[in-house]
């Protein structure tokens, strides 16, 4: 239960970090918050020869809110983003989801961008990334590129990122005016990996749903968006056909069985959590901040 030997690198700039990653290729690994990586190292499930510790790289720790996006730097800790009032006002779903990311002691160290780059299907923030149409900003020896969250995730723990690329930030998209969001998950113990979870975004016009979408945690191999509009658009918020929604969810999710829960149970949970999230989101007033957003 101790990590194997590695060489520790502490670059000060993105360019130095990327050069080190280029030099060491698949034998190098980025260390940011380490809350997913270090357990893997402790259990010797991976044994990279070089860790590129980006914690001292300048300029990666900012949260920037614009009219269209919330840009989160690679060193922003979950707890820092959770506490960030301007980010909450711009995109309430961030805080709604972050409250479910592990325990506070993990959120104090773990980074939001790192959890997206790690691409664990049980991660909350990858689901939020796809639901908000986020853009991943990657730096590499060939320069910088931007990757839509929808194209970023290839499979569990697998992304389109090259071994010599570093994610420097993720830009979460702000949702249109009149959108309400919610996040629910079920875990054996609050803060543990979710058996199933869901993020929902519902845009209303007057008393009627204009569009609705959901993203899931722990029940799909990669985070993906389910369009619920076919079942919900045009329906009054106090009369949502939640059985139809549950059927859409059951058709969309593809969970696996493990020691904690069967696939059937996880699918049932995903459907039920979606019903509850929609029912509570539809009753709530539209987010004032989202309402007033550009």
Partner 1 sequence: MSNPPDTEELLDITVHVNGVPRTAATPARRLLSDFLRHDLDLTGTHVGCEHGVCGACTVLLDGEPVRSCLLFAVSAQGHEVTTVEGIGNDPAALSPVQQAFLECHGLQCGFCTPGFVTTITAYLEDHPDPTPEEARDAVSGNLCRCTGYQNIVRSVLRAAEIRRDRGGQR
Residues that bind partner 1 (CB under 8 A): 1-8, 10, 27, 31, 34-35, 38-39, 41-43, 47-49, 51, 53, 55, 79, 102-106, 108-109, 189-191
**Residue closer to partner 1 (CB basis): 35 or 179:** 35
CB of 190 to partner 1, least distance (A): 5
CB of 186 to partner 1, least distance (A): 14
CB of 7 to partner 1, least distance (A): 7
**Residue closer to partner 1 (CB basis): 166 or 209:** 166
Q: Which residues contact 66 (CB under 8 A, 6 or more apart)?
A: none
Q: Read off the tokens for 118.
A: 């790690």
Residues in the chain, overall count: 294
Strands 50-53 and 7-9: parallel
**Residue closer to partner 1 (CB basis): 59 or 104:** 104
CB of 35 to partner 1, least distance (A): 6
**Residue closer to partner 1 (CB basis): 3 or 221:** 3
Q: Which residues contact 39 (CB under 8 A, 6 or more apart)?
A: none
Distance between CA 60 and CA 57 in Å, rounded? Answer: 7
CA dihedral 194→176→174→88, nearest 10 degrees, is -70
Whole-Å CA distances, 256 to 105, 195, 199, 265: 28, 10, 20, 10
CB of 223 to partner 1, least distance (A): 22
**Residue closer to partner 1 (CB basis): 45 or 294:** 45
Distance between CA 261 and CA 26 in Å, rounded? Answer: 34
CB of 120 to partner 1, least distance (A): 14
**Residue closer to partner 1 (CB basis): 44 or 144:** 44
- Residue ranges of the alpha helices (H) in 49-192? 78-83, 85-90, 92-98, 104-107, 112-118, 124-131, 149-152
């Amino acid at each position: 239960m101790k990590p194997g030997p590695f060489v520790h690198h502490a670059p000060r700039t993105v360019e130095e970090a990327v050069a080190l990653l280029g030099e060491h290729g698949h034998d190098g690994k980025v260390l940011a918050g380490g809350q997913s990586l270090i357990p893997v190292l402790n259990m010797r499930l991976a044994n990279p020869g070089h860790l590129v510790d980006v914690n001292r790289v300048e300029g990666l720790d900012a949260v920037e809110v614009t009219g269209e996006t919330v840009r989160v730097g690679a060193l922003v800790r979950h707890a820092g983003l959770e506490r960030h009032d301007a980010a909450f006002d711009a995109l309430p779903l961030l805080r709604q989801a972050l409250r479910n990311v592990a325990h506070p002691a993990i959120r104090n160290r773990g980074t939001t961008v790192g959890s997206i780059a790690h691409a664990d299907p049980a991660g909350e923030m990858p689901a939020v990334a796809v639901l908000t149409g986020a853009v991943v900003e990657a730096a590499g020896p060939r320069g910088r590129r931007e990757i839509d969250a929808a194209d970023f995730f290839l499979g569990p723990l697998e992304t389109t990122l090259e071994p010599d690329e570093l994610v420097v930030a993720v830009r979460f998209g702000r949702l249109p005016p009149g959108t309400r969001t919610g996040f629910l998950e079920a875990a054996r113990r609050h803060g543990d990996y979710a058996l199933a979870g869901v993020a929902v975004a519902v845009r209303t016009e007057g008393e009627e749903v204009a569009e609705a979408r959901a993203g899931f945690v722990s029940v799909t191999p990669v985070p993906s968006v389910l369009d619920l509009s076919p079942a919900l658009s045009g329906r009054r918020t106090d009369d949502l056909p939640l059985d139809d929604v549950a059927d859409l969810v059951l058709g969309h999710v593809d969970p696996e069985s493990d020691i904690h829960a069967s696939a059937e149970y996880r699918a049932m949970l995903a459907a039920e959590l979606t019903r509850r999230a929609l029912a509570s989101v539809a009753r709530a007033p539209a987010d004032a901040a989202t309402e007033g957003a550009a």
